[in-house]
Amino acid sequence: MRPETLASLEHRLRAQARRDGIAHFVVGVAVFRDGKLLVVRRVPDDYHGGMYELPGGGVESGETFAECVHRELFEETGLRARVITDYLGGFDYATRTKSKVRKYSFVVTAEPGEVALAPGEHDAFAWIDAEVLARLPMAPDMRAAVSALVSDQARADQALRADSARQGPTN
């Protein structure tokens, strides 16, 4: 997405949230590699401990959503986002300390590299597809979002294979 597109989107999203009485934001970051989605597991003694989720976190004061996407992905996984490619939508939830938080999720293309988890926040990660998703503990709203992502990815992969088969082998 172009920077001006992201800025316009953020302006609209923040205005909608203000009208809904929401002032706290979180971003989720979807990263695919080889057709699989990256998820991270929260440490056991944290909120939703032991549950898998998309990398992400709270938007800091004065920070744009795009800046938060880049920062959180790097802080939580050691991966660097090259570009934000899509906006996936948002949902509201409550935390231990905030009655209303709005989470917005984005898809990014990440630079090549190995995942290095932030100690104390996450203790495991997995690159998953639809088959693996069913076996992972996950909050219901996160499971719905991740399920849609891996299903969309599976359809895209299937379409790509079909196109390749129609075109025949390349030499």
The tens place of each residue's pLDDT in the chain, 171 residues long, gives: 999 999 999 999 999 999 999 999 999 999 999 989 999 999 998 878 899 999 999 999 999 999 999 999 999 999 999 999 999 999 888 877 888 999 999 999 999 999 999 888 999 999 999 889 989 999 888 888 888 888 876 566 555 556 666 676 655
Q: 3-state SS of 118-163?
A: CCCCEEEEEEECHHHHCCCCECHHHHHHHHHHHHHHHHHHHHHHHH
Give the predicted TM-score (pTM) of the model: 0.85
